[in-house]
Amino acid sequence: MHPPSSFNSRYLAPFYRYFHIVLYKTYANLKGENEKTYLGCVWWIVEPLMNTAVFYFIFVYILKNRGPDFVVFLYVGMVVYGWFSNGLNAAANSIVSHAALMQQIWLPKALFPFISVSNISWKFCFSLVAILPLLWWQHAPPTLAYFALPVLIAIQYFVVIALGMPLAGIIPYFQDGRTVLSTLLSVFMWLSGVFYGREHVSAHLQPLFYANPAAALIEGYRAILLQGTWPDWRVLFLSLIVPACSLLLGLFILHKIDRQVTKRPI
Amino acid sequence: MSSPEVLIELDHVGLKYPLKRPLHGQRVHWALQDVSLTIYRGQTLGVIGSNGAGKSTLMKLLAGITQEDRGTVRRKKDLRISILNLGLGFEGTLTGRENAILSGMLFGLHRRTIEKRINNIIEFSGLGDFIDQPYYTYSSGMGARLGFAVAMEIDPDILLLDEVLGVGDANFAEKSSKALLEKINSDMTVVLISHDPHTIRRLATTATWIDKGVTQCFGNVKEVSARYEHFTRTGEKPVAT
């Protein structure tokens, strides 16, 4: 038996504890949602399906500019963007929504975006994976490129947290930001290629288009699920530049406000 | 005899809260203005003061929830300091057992540690098979019993008590205050907040009196509580010592 090293007790043990706190809180939130509604987790699929139906109707029957494959194309875009935008909203509000807990015990503030985003991520993974059998039956069987799917999911989880981290620190001081953020996120849906593919973006705008991680991710999922090809790793990698900067900024802000934000009435 | 180890030392500490509307022309409220005290390992420090003295603010500062705005706080590294919160982080839809584990982890315990102590918790709470029912079906007394049972297992380096001595019905109140007294009288370091000088005299080994965010005196329990009682009767403050 080795005595526990100080690295172990200072870094690994807290990490392990925080990991389990996030797991437990996520489990509690999901359990809560399922128990309070009649349809429970069925909603996780029905909701994006309803949204897809509305937009499908608009694009195919009213605007008449999309083919029949559009429904799967649209569903993937809706689910991925839904995760992105709901996750970002939840992360931005994560400090505010845990204000009561923060008054009772000290926890590192960076933990709260993880708690809030994990819950939402699980729901969207569910709605993405649940549709796969239908996809195989109607569209194309799985290919080797499916191995990239968990990677994409992991990337998205961290992208949402990374982008939400600075917002989580700012929102307690500027609560109007919640409205600004949800408005921006609905605008960004139109800029993220939920309704159209890369081919509709002119070449000189493409770098800008892909600077938005949501666009790059949606593109990646569609490559795997619709075309059965590997996602464009270069594009994905470049789209991580903004989230990486955001993560550093977020950790800095949350460190600064760590024991100050609890003094504000929220 | 070597002097006991210092765990926390507050030196002329002030802490302010931002205000939404100006008060006396200022947008901040100094809840603590000038507080100095020392917490030694193993002692029970009684903090006495009237309402609005800054006792709860001091608790949050000691627990590391907030940070001082002036003065210095010296803290030994890696201390686990917990306010005794009954039902910390309890969620309605989780069962009593799941809540006990979540709460224990929030208090700073490793998941495996709290899982090992879960049987003690169930036994102390007296909830029996109800432990696996969702928390929202519990009565408030049952919730308090579970919360207390968890709090008795957390064993922090410093336990901060804000006048929680007995909870639940007469039976459980006796059992819980007995358990808490055992903790206070053990070698655990405790900070006990009260506005009742009798409680402080009965339990504390050192005491401090705080009024309007300023330490009035620090040291001998009898002396401090006598001065506080003199103040509450006559409104006279002692000459600074």
Give yes or no for B57 touching A (CB within 8 A): no
pLDDT of B1 > 50? The answer is no
Residue with tokens 């903790």: B183
Is A105–B88 a contact, with Cβ atoms under 8 angstroms apart? yes
Domain contains A1: no
Bridge-based pairing of strands B206-211 and B214-219 is antiparallel
Contact (CB, 8 A) for B124 and B87: no
A149-168: pLDDT as tens digits: 999 999 999 999 999 999 99
What gap in Å lies between CA B196 and CA B180, rounded to an integer?
Answer: 17
B89 CB within 8 Å of a chain A CB: yes
Q: For chain A, what percent of residues have pLDDT higher than 90? A: 55
Rg (CA), chain B: 19
- Name the residue in chain B with its Cα closest to that of A22: B102
Q: Is residue A60 part of a domain?
A: yes
- In whole angstroms, what is the distance from residue A172 CA to residue A113 CA? 13
> Which residue range(s) make up the domain with A227?
6-263
Residue A199 resides in a domain: yes
Q: Which residue has the tokens 């009682």?
A: B229
Q: What residues have CB less than 8 Å from A45, skipping those under 6 apart?
A: A126, A127, A130, A131
Q: How far apart are CA A250 and CA A266, in angstroms?
A: 20
pTM value? Answer: 0.89
What's the rounded Cα separation, in Å, for the pair A164 and A113?
Answer: 7
Tens-place pLDDT, residues B81-91: 999 888 899 99
What is the CA A213 to chain-centroid distance, rounded?
Answer: 10
pLDDT tens-digit profile of B162-192?
876 667 778 888 888 888 888 888 889 999 9
| B82 inside 8 A of chain A by CB | yes
Contacts of A5 in chain B (CB under 8 A): none
Interface A–B counts its CB contacts (< 8 A) at 76
pLDDT digits (tens, 9 = 90+) for A77-127: 999 999 999 999 999 999 999 999 999 999 999 999 999 999 899 988 888
| Cα distances (Å, whole numbers) of residue B214 to A50, B176, B232 | 61, 33, 16
Strands annotated E in chain B: 6-23, 26-40, 44-48, 70-75, 81-83, 158-162, 189-194, 206-211, 214-219
Out of B67, B94, B98, closest to residue A259 by CB: B67
* Residues 9-48 of chain B whose Cβ lies under 8 A from any Cβ of chain A: 15-18, 20
- CB–CB contact A259 B16 (8 Å): no
Predicted local confidence at residue B166, as pLDDT: 65
Q: Which helix (H) or strand (E) holds A116?
A: helix A111-129
- Are B78 and A9 in contact (CB < 8 Å)? yes
Q: Are B62 and B81 in contact (CB under 8 A)?
A: yes
**SS3 of residue B161 by DSSP:** strand
CA distance A95 to A165: 10
**Is B101 near chain A, with CB under 8 Å?**
yes
Q: Where are the domains of chain B?
A: 6-79+191-234
The distance of B44 to chain A (nearest Cα, Å) reads 21
Question: Residues A127-146: pLDDT tens digits?
Answer: 888 888 888 887 778 899 99
By the 8 A CB rule, do B60 and B191 touch? no
H/E run at residue A175:
none
Q: Topology of domain B6-79+191-234, per CATH?
A: Rossmann fold (3.40.50)
B65 touches A: beta carbon within 8 Å: yes
* Chain B nearest-CA residue for A16: B110
At position B109, the amino acid (one-letter code) is L
What pLDDT does residue A202 have? 85
What is the C-alpha to C-alpha distance for residues A171 and A166, in angstroms, rounded to an integer?
9
Return the higher-pLDDT residue of B94 and A55: B94
The total number of structural domains in chain A stands at 1
Determine the longest span between alpha carbons in chain A, in angstroms.
71
Residues of B in contact with A258 (CB under 8 A): 67
The answer to whether position A173 is within a domain reads: yes
Chain B residues 118-157 with CB within 8 Å of chain A: 134
